[in-house]
């Protein structure tokens, strides 16, 4: 009987939630991710429950986010196909943004747990790896959906000699998405932690504001690259 391990990568200590002998999840990541999903769901439900021609503040925010993601999707995938993949791109963007902001805004370190510590879910490489794999599955699925078996022709264009390089490229895309997001979030949280421990009053505030901006940019970059990868296989 073969064991299936979700990940062999361990960075620091974690509060494990054991579902079986081989299925171990990081409890702190699972808890914060659940809170982020609940918060995003409430935000979207409340913000769209009573749409007005003259929008209020919350509706304005949702419309700005929608227009931003829509413009990214149209730019990368074109007006003919963007609507099919807009829900995925919007979900990826909102989830990453919520996770990043949860780590930047909430003082999780004040809450002590037996093992590990609460932080942004994107501070866990398993979370970013999962998001990258979902993106890969989506752009493979998009290629088959739009082009059928003709999708495989892209691997031998413009010459069959590029077949190995084109295959390797499909494996490096999720790796790039994974480590870019993980590395930037970890670096941001480490910077804020070090500065707060050295100078705990006032000075860290601009750094935290910069962290919020960087967190937003990272979510937008991930969504843009995901759109670009999908657009590449359906062009």
Model confidence over 19-47: pLDDT tens digits?
Answer: 777 777 777 888 889 999 999 999 999 88
Q: Which residue has the higher pLDDT, 4 or 27?
A: 27
From 31, 193, 47, 45, select the one nearest 99 (Cα to Cα): 31
**C-alpha pair distances (Å), 113 with each of 40, 76, 128, 147, 186:** 25, 43, 23, 50, 20
Q: Taking the domains of the chain in order of start, what are their residue ranges?
A: 16-234
This prediction's pTM? 0.84
Q: 132 versus 207: which is more confidently predicted?
A: 132
Classify strands 24-26 and 16-18 as parallel, antiparallel or unpaired: antiparallel
Residue-wise pLDDT tens digits, 55-105: 788 888 999 999 999 999 999 888 888 888 999 999 999 999 999 988 877
Q: How confident is the model at residue 7 (pLDDT cuts 50, 70, 90)?
A: very low
> Is 117 within 8 Å of 232 (Cβ atoms)?
no
State the pLDDT at residue 97.
93
User: What are the φ/ψ torsions at residue 52 (nearest 5 degrees)?
Assistant: -120, 150
Instruction: Please give the Cα distance from 47 to 54 (Å, whole number).
Output: 13
Residue with tokens 């391990």: 5
């Amino acid at each position: 009987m073969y064991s299936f391990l979700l990940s062999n990568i361990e960075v620091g200590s974690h509060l494990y939630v054991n579902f079986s002998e081989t299925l171990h999840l990081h409890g702190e990541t699972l808890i914060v991710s659940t809170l982020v999903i609940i918060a995003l769901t409430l935000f979207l439900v409340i913000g769209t429950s009573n749409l007005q021609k003259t929008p209020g503040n919350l509706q304005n925010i949702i419309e700005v986010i929608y227009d931003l993601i829509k413009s990214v999707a149209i730019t990368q995938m074109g007006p003919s196909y963007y609507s099919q993949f807009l829900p995925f791109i919007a979900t990826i963007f909102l989830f990453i943004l919520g996770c990043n902001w949860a780590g930047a805004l909430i003082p999780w370190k004040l809450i002590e747990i037996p093992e590990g510590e609460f932080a942004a879910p994107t501070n866990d490489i398993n979370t970013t790896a999962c998001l990258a794999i979902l993106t890969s599955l989506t752009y493979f699925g998009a290629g088959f959906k739009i082009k059928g078996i003709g999708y495989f022709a892209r691997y031998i264009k413009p010459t069959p000699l590029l077949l190995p390089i084109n295959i390797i490229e499909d494996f490096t895309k999720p790796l790039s998405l994974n480590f870019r997001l993980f590395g930037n979030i970890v670096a941001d949280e480490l910077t804020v932690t070090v500065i707060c421990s050295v100078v705990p009053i006032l000075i860290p505030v601009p750094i935290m504001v910069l962290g919020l901006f960087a967190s937003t940019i990272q979510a937008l970059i991930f969504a843009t690259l995901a759109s670009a990868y999908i657009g590449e296989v359906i062009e």
